[in-house]
Amino acid sequence: MALHRKTAFNRSPYFDNYLNLCLTDIDYIPDDSQIITSDDVFDYMLEVRHLNQGIENHRQNLINDYKEYSNIKVRSLADFKALDTDKYKAIKKE
């Protein structure tokens, strides 16, 4: 079929015997067809897990920032400007 695949092709000595036992009844194979192997699925799952871990780390950072800033009271424009310039620690927390 000469289809595109991402993972390396692993062959055993019995693979050709197995293929000779297989039958196909395909009239047309679309040009953009690919073979998806279990290795491809596993790699995708690891990529998603890594992405989700990054999202979780970012979420935790946002929660920590919220906790840090949530007690600050802004009573004037000067207080707001102090926040804007990272001088929020000069504002008294209540």
Residue 82: which residues within 8 A CB-CB, separation 6 or more?
88, 90, 91
Question: Residue 84 has what pLDDT?
Answer: 64
SS3 72: strand
What's the pTM? 0.50
Residue pLDDT tens, the chain, 94 long: 666 666 666 778 887 888 889 888 888 888 888 888 888 899 999 999 999 999 999 999 999 888 887 777 778 888 777 776 655 555 544 4
Cβ(88)–Cβ(82) under 8 Å? Answer: yes
Residue 86: which residues within 8 A CB-CB, separation 6 or more?
none
Question: Residue 44 has what pLDDT?
Answer: 92
Question: Residue 79 has what pLDDT?
Answer: 76
What is the C-alpha to C-alpha distance for residues 94 and 84, in angstroms, rounded to an integer?
A: 19
Question: Residue 6 has what pLDDT?
Answer: 67
